[in-house]
Structure 1
Amino acid sequence: MAKRLKTNYESRLDAAAETIVNNDHCPIPGLVIMARRGEDVYQKAFGYADKEAGRLMTNDAQFRCFSMTKVLTTSIALMLRDQGLLELEAPVETYLPAFGRQFEVLHEAPHGEPGAFKVPYTSFMTGKTQNLSFTKTAAQNKILVKHCLSESTGIGYDMWTDFDLVYNQSLFGHQYGVAQALRRQKGLGFYSSNSIIGQNATLEEYCDAIAEAGYLTDEPGTFSYGLGALLMGRIIEVVCERVLGKHERFSRICEKKLFEPLGMSSAAFYLNDGDPRIAKIPQLYAATANEGSGPSGAIDVKPYVKCLPMVDDFPNTVTTAHFEGPRSCDSGDTGSCMTVLDYSKFYEMLLAGGCTPNGRRILKEQSVRDLAYGQFSDLDRQSKIARAFGLTGEAASFNYGWAVEAKTDKSPHCNHWSGYANNHGRLYIEEDSYILLFPQFMASTPASFPLGEPVIKEPMIAAFLSEWEY
């Protein structure tokens, strides 16, 4: 039976979207939504791309995809595996020799623990500096290629520690901030969530710097969400160079292997000066708490650059890094930008079994199955961050660049992931359906972090699923 949406679905989805941009507690300035079920397609823009400038959101807005880049990187890795050029079980050092060293795993330590070290850590969210206590042990495992796909390299983002410090909690752990602080002590200043693609380094230099520092936030094989796909992008560069006999940037490899075959004409990593797509990039927004308000009190929504303190050591380049500055490091974990329509073409390829619109296969059927259903069996999914994200394997787990959730009595099988700006996609491969939500509302302020799920994702996903006709 053909998959359909209910009669007059458009008006009800419109109403759900309007509640997001007009939310009483946290009005989201603007977003684009695209959804499909069978032959029924919904795509609309709501609100503003730049509220202060009076620029309305449009369907052809050029969105920063952030961590929704990870699964794109994974798909190219699987293309190379399909060709017999890449081994997922191989150590990363097979392709990146700098990683053939002994790494040290950092552990959060209570103050006063015997043998503990201290390092000053400055939070980019608050601008405050405090000493973090830690211990370290020799890593027992090597970083494997599959760890890059499953974000279990032990190279986690520093911002997880910021959230713990801001909320005075122990949800993620301090080892993420310790690793960043120690890397910076060695003069390796590339590693900061606030300049996540704005660092003045090539992809090779960035990866070599991480290896040179020698610090991991977790034992390899432990879910430690961060820069795994960045390493994967560099591995892809190396593998392709071995075949071609010349170097190509990861961004160019993506163009040749994914963007061009699928007709993703807007997709890019960086935009050169004068590129007309720059004018279509929305403003990045976030939230701050009003003076004197508690965690659930009144908030202000304003441009992201006005939401964080000015800290000399942490330039806030996230808003402009796609079109200003060095534009040197093609980040496979956070670097792509494109229209929502073009991102949907990746989902369409998976729904077509790995084929382009003209029928050319770019992914083997087994690789499509791995993306949709694959779960690595020998990973540690009990880390604090895995438990915080509900990715312990009981209901969901993170494997091939995104999460997989098995079908239950209450919900269909689903693959999903989000980006830094609360952009989100869900593919229902068994149902010939998907939904893409693209705001540009950053999660990385104390007030913003709890809002993405209840204000943006949950209501719109629920509205879409309620329109399914069986």
Structure 2
Amino acid sequence: MKQAVSLLLVALFLIASCKKQEEEKVQYLVDETVKIRIDSTLQSFVDLGDVAGASALIFEKGEEVYYNAFGYTDIKNKKPMERNTLVQIYSMTKPITGTALMTLYEEGKFQLDDPLEKYAPEFANMQVYKGYDSIAGEMILEPAKRPITIRDITRHTAGFSGQRDLPGLGEAIAEADALNRENTLAEMAKKLSSVPLGYHPGEHWEYGISVDVQAYLVELLSDQPYATYVQEHVLDPLKMNDTRYFVPESDRDRMSSAYRHDGDSLIQLPNEEAHAYNYTKWPLTPGGWGFTSTLDNYMRFAQMLVNKGTLEGVQVLDSSTVELMTTNHLDESIEERSWLPSKGQVGFGIDFAVRLRPPASPEENNGVVGEFFWDGAASTLFWVDPTNELTAVLFVQVFPYNGTLHKRFRDAVYGPFSLEESTSE
């Protein structure tokens, strides 16, 4: 009997020892040294006058490994940047819209290569801009080579153009005023479809209004207002209570002011100007911009993605759908890509940039192959790094967009990029 008890105790000891060893094997990229480096970097953003305030949140392997905030949301009133500060995330709205759309994909409501006109007939028989006849005083147009597909509006190859400097086309874009806040999404789509495309679908990558068309498509496919659908199928399930278009008066003391650079000076914009969209309930509920959020709210979205569609037992997307969204859909034959190459060695999935290769030089954005990410006009950023099970959210509020902040933050997280290390992997 004593021998049996002794053997049991030895077995339990060995099991406990093995478990401890397994736990000790878990190593985090973001250790104390990295935390100090990130602190120093974010503080430098403020000290150098790049931003008024900066905050960041990082999760790794399901655990919070970093949070800190520096500087002010409101310089004039010395109001500090805090964890529950609300910021305008601008184009970081786009991946949320893509997620809402793909919940309908999972229901079999559409296929990616379906023509957009199948569901939105106003986009049938689109014309493409080829130039301007100054003598006749009219645009030179030709029929689109093929219809716009849903895949086109998820990867910015639909042909919609924002080139207001092109004679004739620029005036047509301005006259349509598709993104006027007084327009509903249906009115936006009708006005947009009246403007010739800037290029043939599938031939160029040009960032812009495509994700607002995604929001309109959500309305058509769900028979619900877009704002209602995204609330019920993405925001509520993820408990993203602070992610919204309209900010009530009770929460406006948490809103960060916005800033812009004028030479070396950092100018604080009047709140009534900077927050005009979020302080009024407008008819337009764009898919491409408009949401406010907090670090923790947006981190919940990022955590759902790194967990392949599920968070805390709630499934928003199937894992195969997340994989589809985070796979490059931008064929190498599409050579015209506007400023997308400035993001690094990336392609484009469904509302995310997708890293295909390591940085080609120390000057490029740092990151891990397989990551996917996006950012916002006020220089906010998030990314998902599946290799390290890492998700990061960076909040600042400064115009014009400053990509060098993202480069410095990424270098702080991963360490300065070494071309030798990259080529030896």
Q: TM-score, normalised by structure 1?
A: 0.75
| Superimposed CA distance per residue, residues 394-433 of structure 1 (whole angstroms, 9 cap, x where no aligned partner) | 9211221010002538842211111111111121012110
Match of 2:267 in 1: 302
Shift of 1:304: 4.2
Higher share in helix: 2
1:322 aligns with 2:271: no
Match of 1:223 in 2: 205
1:22 aligns with 2:34: no
CA gap of 1:437–1:141, structure 2 versus 1, over 3 A, is same
Match of 1:61 in 2: 85
Counterpart of 1:234 (choices 216, 235, 245) is: 216
- What amino acid is aligned across from residue 199 of structure 2 in structure 1? D
Report if aligned partners of 1:435, 1:461 keep a CA contact under 8 Å in 2.
Answer: no
Match of 1:182 in 2: 172
Separation in structure 1 between the aligned mates of residue 71 and residue 185 of structure 2, nearest angstrom: 36
SS of structure 1 residue aligned to 2:56: strand
Report if aligned partners of 1:404, 1:416 keep a CA contact under 8 Å in 2.
Answer: yes
Shift of 1:55: 1.9
Match of 2:240 in 1: 264
1:209 aligns with 2:191: yes
Match of 2:350 in 1: 400
Separation in structure 1 between the aligned mates of residue 122 and residue 390 of structure 2, nearest angstrom: 42
Report if aligned partners of 1:117, 1:134 keep a CA contact under 8 Å in 2.
Answer: no
1:104 aligns with 2:113: no
- What amino acid is aligned across from residue 300 of structure 1 in structure 2? S
CA gap of 1:266–1:34, structure 2 versus 1, over 3 A, is same
Separation in structure 2 between the aligned mates of residue 144 and residue 117 of structure 1, nearest angstrom: 35
Separation in structure 2 between the aligned mates of residue 99 and residue 64 of structure 1, nearest angstrom: 31
- What amino acid is aligned across from residue 177 of structure 2 in structure 1? G
Q: Which has the larger Rg?
A: 2
Structure 1: 4+ residue segments shifted above 6 A? none
Separation in structure 1 between the aligned mates of residue 104 and residue 192 of structure 2, nearest angstrom: 24
SS of structure 2 residue aligned to 1:201: coil
1:88 aligns with 2:112: yes
Which runs of 5 or more structure 1 residues have no equivalent in the other structure? 110-114, 120-132, 162-173, 192-197, 242-247, 290-298, 307-315, 444-448
Separation in structure 1 between the aligned mates of residue 140 and residue 333 of structure 2, nearest angstrom: 20
Match of 2:368 in 1: 412
Separation in structure 2 between the aligned mates of residue 229 and residue 426 of structure 1, nearest angstrom: 19
Separation in structure 1 between the aligned mates of residue 266 and residue 144 of structure 2, nearest angstrom: 43
Report if aligned partners of 2:345, 2:357 keep a CA contact under 8 Å in 1.
Answer: no
Match of 2:341 in 1: 390
Separation in structure 1 between the aligned mates of residue 136 and residue 79 of structure 2, nearest angstrom: 48
| Superimposed CA distance per residue, residues 305-346 of structure 1 (whole angstroms, 9 cap, x where no aligned partner) | 69xxxxxxxxx965321113x521111111221111101111
- Structure 1 window deviating more from structure 2 (79-88 vs 7-16): it is 7-16
Report if aligned partners of 1:81, 1:87 keep a CA contact under 8 Å in 2.
Answer: yes
SS of structure 1 residue aligned to 2:399: coil
CA gap of 1:116–1:136, structure 2 versus 1, over 3 A, is farther
Q: Number of aligned pairs?
A: 383
- Structure 1 window deviating more from structure 2 (143-152 vs 52-61): it is 52-61
1:434 aligns with 2:391: yes
Separation in structure 1 between the aligned mates of residue 411 and residue 178 of structure 2, nearest angstrom: 39
Report if aligned partners of 2:155, 2:330 keep a CA contact under 8 Å in 1.
Answer: no
RMSD: 2.8
Taking the TM superposition and a 5 Å limit, the aligned residue runs for 1:67-78 are: 67-78=91-102
Separation in structure 2 between the aligned mates of residue 238 and residue 466 of structure 1, nearest angstrom: 46
SS of structure 2 residue aligned to 1:215: coil
Match of 1:32 in 2: 55
1:277 aligns with 2:251: yes
Separation in structure 1 between the aligned mates of residue 67 and residue 174 of structure 2, nearest angstrom: 44
1:149 aligns with 2:103: no
Greater RCO between the two (CA within 8 Å, min separation 6)? Answer: 1
Separation in structure 1 between the aligned mates of residue 153 and residue 308 of structure 2, nearest angstrom: 24
- What amino acid is aligned across from residue 268 of structure 2 in structure 1? P
SS of structure 2 residue aligned to 1:148: helix
Shift of 1:96: 1.2
Match of 2:229 in 1: 253
| Superimposed CA distance per residue, residues 153-210 of structure 1 (whole angstroms, 9 cap, x where no aligned partner) | 222345xx6xxxxxxxxxxxx44x854421334xx3344xxxxxx6211111111111
Report if aligned partners of 1:190, 1:200 keep a CA contact under 8 Å in 2.
Answer: no
1:350 aligns with 2:305: yes
Separation in structure 2 between the aligned mates of residue 179 and residue 281 of structure 1, nearest angstrom: 37
Separation in structure 1 between the aligned mates of residue 200 and residue 342 of structure 2, nearest angstrom: 17
| Superimposed CA distance per residue, residues 28-87 of structure 1 (whole angstroms, 9 cap, x where no aligned partner) | 111221112233521222111111232221111111111111111111221111111122
Which runs of 5 or more structure 2 residues have no equivalent in the other structure? 1-24, 360-365, 418-425
Separation in structure 2 between the aligned mates of residue 66 and residue 375 of structure 1, nearest angstrom: 23
Separation in structure 2 between the aligned mates of residue 219 and residue 379 of structure 1, nearest angstrom: 16
Report if aligned partners of 1:3, 1:37 keep a CA contact under 8 Å in 2.
Answer: no
Match of 1:466 in 2: 415
- What amino acid is aligned across from residue 399 of structure 1 in structure 2? G
Shift of 1:106: 5.0
Q: Percent identity?
A: 17
CA gap of 1:22–1:286, structure 2 versus 1, over 3 A, is same
Separation in structure 1 between the aligned mates of residue 279 and residue 254 of structure 2, nearest angstrom: 11
